[in-house]
Amino acid sequence: MLDKAGITNWFKELQDSICTKLEKADGLGRFQEDIWQRPEGGGGRSRVMTHGNVIEKGGVNFSAVEGALPEKISQALKLGKADFYATGVSIVLHPSNPWVPIIHMNIRYFETQGESGSTWWFGGGIDLTPHYVNQEDAKYFHQQLKAVCDRHNFDHYPKYKKWADDYFYLKHRNETRGVGGIFFDRLNDGEDSKEALFIFVKDVGLAFAPIYTHYMGKYGNQPFGQPHKDWQKIRRGRYVEFNLVWDKGTKFGLDTNGRTESILMSMPPEAIWEYNHIPAKGSLEAKTVKMLEKGIDWINI
Amino acid sequence: MLDKAGITNWFKELQDSICTKLEKADGLGRFQEDIWQRPEGGGGRSRVMTHGNVIEKGGVNFSAVEGALPEKISQALKLGKADFYATGVSIVLHPSNPWVPIIHMNIRYFETQGESGSTWWFGGGIDLTPHYVNQEDAKYFHQQLKAVCDRHNFDHYPKYKKWADDYFYLKHRNETRGVGGIFFDRLNDGEDSKEALFIFVKDVGLAFAPIYTHYMGKYGNQPFGQPHKDWQKIRRGRYVEFNLVWDKGTKFGLDTNGRTESILMSMPPEAIWEYNHIPAKGSLEAKTVKMLEKGIDWINI
């Protein structure tokens, strides 16, 4: 019988496994662990790496929080007064080399019991934010995700790919955050059983390390110059904007009084804002901006 | 008769006057002007200075936008379907020297006509964010603001000072943004006429340049080292967090489809996020963090 304890434990094991693989691929950086308690219930195990060979700053966080659902969230979710339990693994990695993309992955399980009954769902997503968009790399990323999705349901990839395009979008910039990926939320039993949904979510989680270590190995030692580094910092500024203005996970964390340093591990080590920066016509930077669009079929581009 | 055209024109003149005074005090930097139109109505005149002697990046923006009130805002303001007109001057200045504080000022006029009648109000605020809190400087700041307030109503300063403490607050950090200042919103005619309220708002606007040029002159050439610069970047990260997570002006701008580059001129030129950074015990940095608290009576400290 699949219960929250089983899901929670698997998430913890996934965190262990991903950290081990990333440390191995990085070769230098080690994760620093911080265990934290949430005053209202639950807590987490944050693991942050800084100053690695490839990873300049990154977090692989596990948390399992519970208690009374804050009003702001129960209103937004139209749940009434309720108790909740939320557990998940969240990852954001900022590489030092601008040729290596930023990556984000999150898988989560949420359940609630209250006045209007009880409910549960899974959610998650994984998306890639290259500082320089490269079609081959974007294609590889989407191929891996499609393979994961297709093992479960041929409808998943197109549906969740579109969802990611819509979710990882900076409305105030008319830009996608990067080349997208997959995003899904509120998956509960209907067509698929809870057990089947969890297998899908696990498969997404297990896809993370091989995908990212591929880019670490491919670009971690590629030479770059100051202009590339400057552009990386501008794109990191956009990453900050997305996470603080639009990201629902960040909002949920801050609204549920999660540990701020763990939630904001997603912030880049360094970002710049240049007023009205417009990349030179025909430059690699301009080409990147042109590809920050919804709806690109990266697999068949 | 005080109408929106009169208020709008005065705000434009204030922008001119402040830009002239800041250029003179800076000695090197010049404001770059961008005129922009909002597709749905109105527009603005942004003035941004970068790479000045004292001001590393700063904006003194005027805007006057109008049209149908976006649903998100009419719901938040409980106004129903309505047309709106909003004009104001917004300033954020990021100095290069960490001994010079960051400053923000905004004064604004808003009116709306719709299903449930018509209404108008003034709002505004000014607050100081030192990278290093200095009691003497905070006291000077509050003394100037109290003098402005007291010319109009002895109740204004205590009321608007407390409002600023509550508004310029990073809930997720349990920190104030800096040493506060004054904040007020939805001032309409009751005790004071519209004309009297506008005189108060004008007085706040006119107080800005003398206050800030005081700090520019006092600290613009004070020597500093790399540790001070690093700390400045950490504090700038907090400034980003406040503006993108909590600031209602930023939200209003993004929600009304304002010009993103003008709204986000408030972003610092450069910011860093160090995971779980805690200043050394007894350091100037630790002393600063200790003073980022609500309710400090800076004038009588």
Kindly report, residue by residue over A268-279, the tens digit of the pLDDT. 999 999 999 999
Name the nearest CA neighbour of A98 among A261, A268, A265, A299: A268
pLDDT recorded at residue A271: 98
Name the nearest CA neighbour of B297 among B210, B203, B180: B180
| pLDDT at position B92 over 90 | yes
- Which one from A104, A131, A142, A156 is the annotated catalytic residue? A104
For residues A132-141, give the mean pLDDT: 98
Placement of tokens 């998430």 in the chain: A11
pLDDT recorded at residue B70: 86
**Alpha-carbon span A30 to B257, nearest angstrom:** 43
User: With an 8 Å Cβ cutoff, is A59 touching chain B?
Assistant: yes
pLDDT recorded at residue B80: 82
pLDDT recorded at residue B189: 81
Lowest average pLDDT, out of A227-241, B76-90, B125-139, goes to B76-90
Rounded-to-10 torsion of CA B68, B73, B79, B82:
0
> A72 to chain B: which residues are within 8 Å by CB?
none
> A233 to chain B: which residues are within 8 Å by CB?
270
| pLDDT at position B209 over 90 | yes
User: With an 8 Å Cβ cutoff, is B261 touching chain A?
Assistant: yes
For residues A230-241, give the mean pLDDT: 98
Task: Please report which confidence band the pLDDT of residue A34 belongs to, taking 50, 70 and 90 as the band edges.
Answer: very high
Find the domain containing A73 and state its range: 4-300
Contact assessment for residue B271 and residue B240, using Cβ atoms and an 8 Å cutoff: yes
| pLDDT at position A116 over 80 | no
Sign of CA dihedral A97, A99, A102, A105: negative
| pLDDT at position A91 over 80 | yes
> Mean pLDDT for chain B?
95
Task: Please report which confidence band the pLDDT of residue B191 belongs to, taking 50, 70 and 90 as the band edges.
Answer: confident
User: With an 8 Å Cβ cutoff, is B254 touching chain A?
Assistant: yes
pLDDT recorded at residue A191: 81
Choose from B30, B94, B172 for mutation: most chain A CBs within 10 A: B172
| pLDDT at position B171 over 80 | yes
For residues B30-47, give the mean pLDDT: 95
pLDDT above 70 as % of chain A? 100
- Check B275 against A265: CB less than 8 A apart: yes
pLDDT recorded at residue B95: 98
Task: Please report which confidence band the pLDDT of residue B114 belongs to, taking 50, 70 and 90 as the band edges.
Answer: confident
pLDDT recorded at residue B123: 97
For residues B95-111, give the mean pLDDT: 98
- Residue A277 annotated to the active site: no
> B31 to chain A: which residues are within 8 Å by CB?
none
- Check A268 against B270: CB less than 8 A apart: no
| pLDDT at position B190 over 90 | no
List the CATH number of the domain containing A273.
3.40.1500.10
A128-167: string of b/e by CB count within 10 Å (b at 16+)? Answer: bbbbbbbeebbbbbbebbbebbeebeeebbeebbebbbeb
pLDDT above 70 as % of chain B? 100
User: With an 8 Å Cβ cutoff, is B229 touching chain A?
Assistant: no
Question: What is the enclosing helix (H) or strand (E) of A20?
Answer: helix A4-26
Task: Please report which confidence band the pLDDT of residue B279 belongs to, taking 50, 70 and 90 as the band edges.
Answer: very high
**Alpha-carbon span B297 to B299, nearest angstrom:** 6
pTM for the model stands at 0.95
For residues B6-28, give the mean pLDDT: 98
User: How many CB atoms within 10 Å of residue A100?
Assistant: 28
- Check B275 against A57: CB less than 8 A apart: yes
Question: What is the enclosing helix (H) or strand (E) of A62?
Answer: strand A55-68
| pLDDT at position A14 over 80 | yes
For residues B51-58, give the mean pLDDT: 98
What tens digit of pLDDT does each residue of B235-273 get?
999 999 999 999 999 988 888 888 999 999 999 999 999
pLDDT recorded at residue A222: 98
**Alpha-carbon span A266 to B76, nearest angstrom:** 29
> B32 to chain A: which residues are within 8 Å by CB?
275
pLDDT recorded at residue B68: 93
Task: Please report which confidence band the pLDDT of residue A57 belongs to, taking 50, 70 and 90 as the band edges.
Answer: very high
| pLDDT at position B142 over 80 | yes
pLDDT recorded at residue B235: 98
**Alpha-carbon span B48 to A138, nearest angstrom:** 36
Total number of domains in chain B: 1
The minimal CB distance from A245 to the residues B254, B269, B274 is found for: B254
pLDDT recorded at residue B41: 94
> Mean pLDDT for chain A?
95
- Check B254 against A173: CB less than 8 A apart: no
Lowest average pLDDT, out of A90-104, A110-124, A221-235, goes to A110-124
Name the nearest CA neighbour of A273 among B88, B233, B18: B233
- Tally A–B CB contacts below 8 A: 74
- Compare all CA atoms of chain A with the CA of B247 and give the residue at the minimum distance: A245
pLDDT recorded at residue A74: 83
Name the nearest CA neighbour of B94 among A66, A273, A30: A273
Task: Please report which confidence band the pLDDT of residue A161 belongs to, taking 50, 70 and 90 as the band edges.
Answer: very high
- Check B275 against A173: CB less than 8 A apart: no
Task: Please report which confidence band the pLDDT of residue A80 belongs to, taking 50, 70 and 90 as the band edges.
Answer: confident
**Alpha-carbon span A126 to A210, nearest angstrom:** 13
pLDDT recorded at residue B168: 98
- Check A264 against B241: CB less than 8 A apart: yes
pLDDT recorded at residue B261: 95
Task: Please report which confidence band the pLDDT of residue A75 belongs to, taking 50, 70 and 90 as the band edges.
Answer: confident
